[in-house]
Amino acid sequence: MNLRRAAGRRAGARGAHPSADRGATVVELALIMPLVLAVVLLIVQVALWFHGRQVADAAAREGARVARAAGPDAAGWEGEAEERARSIVRAIGPSVLADAQVTAWEEGDRRGVEVTGQAVQVIPLLPDLTFTVTARFGGPVECFRPDDGSDGCL
């Protein structure tokens, strides 16, 4: 008896015929691909949320800088600070941070700006899920304080 025939019979008896595995790779790929696609979309969503946060941080920081530099007795500093923050959002990422809301705030001798918006949503299957981004920056109002120990600003 020929060795090849004997080996072929043994392999055939066990069900390990070479053509029996045909198409298995395509089926495995079809089963795994939705999971791979979901992971890729999740990575892109996190990256867009992070970028939206960076835009909000930059806008709030610039608005707070304008608010703090206006001086303690300046009128209209709120509008200037809010407009500066809005201009940063428009310049850097108007489509990255949707529905951006800018609010100037003052607490004692501290001033700042808060920027809130929605990051872009990539995952269409979750319409109720929103990725809200909020950034708040501020600090003490800049003014010259005399050396005589008085509390007032010049």
Residue 104 lies in a domain: yes
pTM > 0.85: no
Say whether pLDDT at 67 is over 70.
yes
| Structural domain contains residue 8 | no
Q: For residue 133, give every residue at least 6 positions away whose Cβ sits within 8 Å of its Cβ, in sequence order, or none.
A: 49, 52, 53, 55, 56, 97, 115, 116, 117, 118, 119
Q: Can you give the residue range of the structural domain that contains 68? A: 25-140
Q: Which two tokens stand for residue 53?
A: 């946060």
Tally Cβ neighbours within 10 Å of residue 115.
Answer: 29
Q: How many domains does the chain have?
A: 1
Q: Tokens 């060795």 map to which residue?
A: 3
Q: Which of 21-35, 59-73, 86-100 has the lowest mean pLDDT?
A: 21-35
Residue pLDDT, tens place only, 5-51: 555 555 555 555 556 667 778 888 888 999 998 899 889 989 999 99
pLDDT at 125: 65
Q: Which helix (H) or strand (E) holds 103?
A: strand 97-107
> Is residue 86 included in any domain, yes or no?
yes
> Would 98 be classed as within a structural domain?
yes
